[in-house]
C-alpha cells in the first residue's frame, strides 16, 4: 500500500478537525469552493471563456501549492 505524502496527511488532519469543529468545517468548505467561485466570477462578470478561466485558476492553485511546498521545506 502506498504511503500518503505530507500534503495528503495534512488534508486528512484538516478533514478530521472539520468533522469536529463547525467553524473549521465552514472555512474548509469556503476554501474548497473558492476555485469554483473564481471561475464563475471570471466567466460571468468578466466574460472569460470557460477554458481560459479554468486554466487561469489552475495555474493560481499550482503557484499557491508551490509556495506552500517551498515554505514547508524551510
pLDDT of 23-59, one tens digit each? 777 777 777 778 888 899 899 999 999 999 999 988 8
The pLDDT-based confidence of 71 (bands split at 50, 70, 90) is low
Contact 24, 17 (CB under 8 A): yes
Of 8, 62, 68, which is closest to residue 35 (Cα–Cα)? 62
Question: Model pTM?
Answer: 0.54
Query: CA-CA distances (angstroms) from residue 38 to 9, 51, 66?
Result: 26, 13, 19
Amino acid at each position: 500500500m502506498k504511503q500518503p505524502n505530507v500534503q495528503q496527511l495534512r488534508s486528512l488532519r484538516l478533514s478530521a478537525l472539520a468533522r469536529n469543529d463547525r467553524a473549521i468545517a465552514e472555512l474548509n468548505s469556503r476554501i474548497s469552493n473558492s476555485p469554483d467561485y473564481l471561475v464563475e466570477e471570471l466567466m460571468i462578470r468578466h466574460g472569460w471563456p470557460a477554458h481560459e478561466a479554468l486554466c487561469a485558476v489552475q495555474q493560481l492553485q499550482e503557484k499557491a501549492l508551490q509556495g506552500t511546498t517551498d515554505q514547508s521545506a524551510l
